[in-house]
Amino acid sequence: MSKTRSEEEWQAILTPEQFRILRQKGTELPNTGEYNKFKGKGVFCCAACNTPLYISDTKFDSGCGWPAFFEAIPGAVNRHEDVSNNMKRVEITCAACDGHLGHVFQGEGWKHTPADERHCVNSVSIKFSPDDEEKKSKE
């Protein structure tokens, strides 16, 4: 999947909520996303194009109300300055399709993670793919 899809094409293949968040840079309400407290082992992929973005071992409970990761799969996520809503933040998008994932925050003092970074990701922007061990435990 490439970044060359038109917004009309994205609207046809995404749910209205996925389109609002992934294409219009929306945000889901805190503590409402299915992956906020999720603990499965596997890979989190872009909900729009299925590109692998985060490994479950990098997910941690930040208490922020959204799924949090301390690092992305190398090359999977792009960063952009975001000055919307009278704030200066760093937006993160899928490198393959440019879908909005959320924001990354640095310097918050996360001592139990290898990087002092929190990728705050909308659950709607991702989907989980369990690893083989996780699949077997569900059977």
The whole-number pLDDT of residue 131 equals: 85
Active-site residue (options: 45, 49, 94, 120): 120
Does residue 1 lie within any of the structural domains? no
The whole-number pLDDT of residue 137 equals: 59
Confirm if 51 and 3 have CB atoms less than 8 A apart.
no
Does residue 24 lie within any of the structural domains? yes
Does residue 63 lie within any of the structural domains? yes
C-alpha–C-alpha distance, residues 51 and 44, integer Å: 9
The strand pairing partners of 19, in sequence order, are none
120 part of the active site: yes
Does residue 19 lie within any of the structural domains? yes
The whole-number pLDDT of residue 77 equals: 98
Does residue 89 lie within any of the structural domains? yes
Confirm if 61 and 67 have CB atoms less than 8 A apart.
no
Number of domains in the chain: 1
Does residue 50 lie within any of the structural domains? yes
Task: Look at the block and give the residue holding tokens 């293949």.
Answer: 13
Structural domain for 104, as ranges: 9-138
The CATH number of residue 19's host domain is 2.170.150.20
C-alpha–C-alpha distance, residues 60 and 63, integer Å: 9
Angle (CA) 76-40-28 rounded to 5° is 65
Mean pLDDT, 10 residues at a time, over the chain (139 residues)? 79 96 96 96 97 97 94 97 84 97 92 86 97 62
The whole-number pLDDT of residue 1 equals: 42
Confirm if 138 and 121 have CB atoms less than 8 A apart.
no
In three state form, how does the secondary structure of the chain look?
CCCCCCHHHHHHHCCHHHHHHHHCCCCCCCCCCCCCCCCCCEEEEECCCCCEEEEHHHEECCCCCCCEECCCCCCCEEEEEECHHHCCEEEEEECCCCCEEEEEEECCCCCCCCCCEEEEECHHHEEEEECHHHHHHHC
The whole-number pLDDT of residue 85 equals: 78
Sheet holding 52-55, edge to edge: 52-55, 42-46, 126-130
